[in-house]
Amino acid sequence: MVANVLASVLFTILFKELSRFKLYKLNMKAFVVAALIAVAAAVPQYPKPAYPEYKPEYKPEYKPEYKPAYKAQSYDNAPHPYQFAWAVHDDPSYNDFKHEEYADDKGYVKGSYQTLLPDGRVQTVTYTADDYTGYVADVQYSGEAKYDYKPAYKPSYPEPSYKAPAYPAPAYKAPAYPAPAYKAPAYKAPAYPAPAYKAPAYPAPTYKAPSYPAPSYKAPSYPAPKY
């Protein structure tokens, strides 16, 4: 309210002072500026509202506790000692290999396997394995590679002793069929009567042949040439 009263008083005084002088254009500009200042002063100024900061506190009341009914099985079993060995040597199928391995009660494993390769060499792999060094293999080759390698085994099969079967000629007789007894049909040619219409008769033409007079021009005469 006080600001509005002050703006009104300022506006009245400024208007009276401007009316005293006859500078209309300049007074109008000053009048507009004063009016804008008065309007700006008359706008009430409110302080910025202060809201309390909201901080939600989430506290879940439900706390599920999962307890499996079964007991988890442990696969970390103690090692058991074992030992095995086997070999295959079959010339007809070209299989020649062997494998042997043993392990102690501390998890240490040692073994080797041997294979005959298609090029004639023998591959031997010796390996060890434990929980500290893992699997360690040593590969060795013996013999000389031959790309035209052929096993020495040559299967021999005896000639068959059975005789080829002999089949007799068939004894059945070829069937004989009689000639057909039906007679061929006889067809008579159709007879058509001669046409009864008469040919038209036309009279001979009566026009006369034209006659033309003989030409009346004279043949030209040329003088004999002089050499």
pLDDT tens column, 207-226: 777 787 877 777 777 787 77
Is pLDDT of 137 > 80?
yes
121, 143 Cβ separation under 8 angstroms: yes
pLDDT at 41: 63
User: Is residue 87 located within the same domain as residue 138?
Assistant: yes
* Domain count across the chain: 2
201 in a structural domain: no
β-sheet bridge partners, residue 138: 126
pLDDT at 126 over 90: yes
Tell me what the pLDDT averaged over the chain comes to. 77
Specify the pLDDT at position 161: 79
Among 120, 142, 164, give the residue marking a domain's end.
Answer: 142
Distance of alpha carbon 64 from alpha carbon 128, whole angstroms: 49
- The pLDDT score that the predictor gives to residue 73 is 72
CA distance 125 to 139: 5
Q: What is the mean pLDDT of residues 13-34?
A: 60
Q: How confident is the model at residue 16 (pLDDT cuts 50, 70, 90)?
A: low
The DSSP letter of residue 95 is E
Note the pTM of the prediction, 2 decimals. 0.36
Structural domain range at position 127: 82-142
Query: Residue 182: pLDDT above 60?
Result: yes
Is the predicted pLDDT of residue 154 greater than 80, yes or no? no
CB distance 137 to 149 below 8 Å: no
- 67 lies in a domain? no
Ranges 90-99, 106-115, 133-142, 162-171: which has the least confidence: 162-171
Say yes or no to pLDDT of 92 above 60: yes
* Among 116, 121, 125, CA closest to 97: 116
Instruction: Examine the pLDDT at 101 and tell me if it is beyond 90.
Output: yes
Give the closest residue to 132 by CA, choosing from 105, 108, 103, 102: 108
pLDDT at residue 31 above 70? no
Contact 109, 128 (CB under 8 A): yes
In a domain, 90, yes or no: yes
Q: Is 213 among the domain residues? A: no
pLDDT 10s digits, 39-83? 666 666 677 777 777 777 777 677 767 776 777 777 777 888 999
- Secondary-structure percent of the chain, ordered helix, strand, coil, rounded to 5: 15, 20, 65
Query: What is the rounded average pLDDT of the residues 147-160?
Result: 66
Lowest-confidence region among 93-107, 109-123, 131-145, 185-199: 185-199
Question: Does 93 map to a domain?
Answer: yes
Predicted confidence at residue 70, as pLDDT, reads 72
φ, ψ for residue 102, nearest 5 deg: -145, 160
**Domain membership flag for residue 102:** yes
**Last-in-domain residue among 142, 162, 192:** 142
How confident is the model at residue 35, as a pLDDT?
A: 67
Q: Within a domain: residue 18?
A: yes
Domain assignment present for residue 192? The answer is no
Cβ within 8 Å of residue 31, ≥6 positions away? 14, 15, 18
Question: How distant is the alpha carbon of residue 36 from its chain centre?
Answer: 74
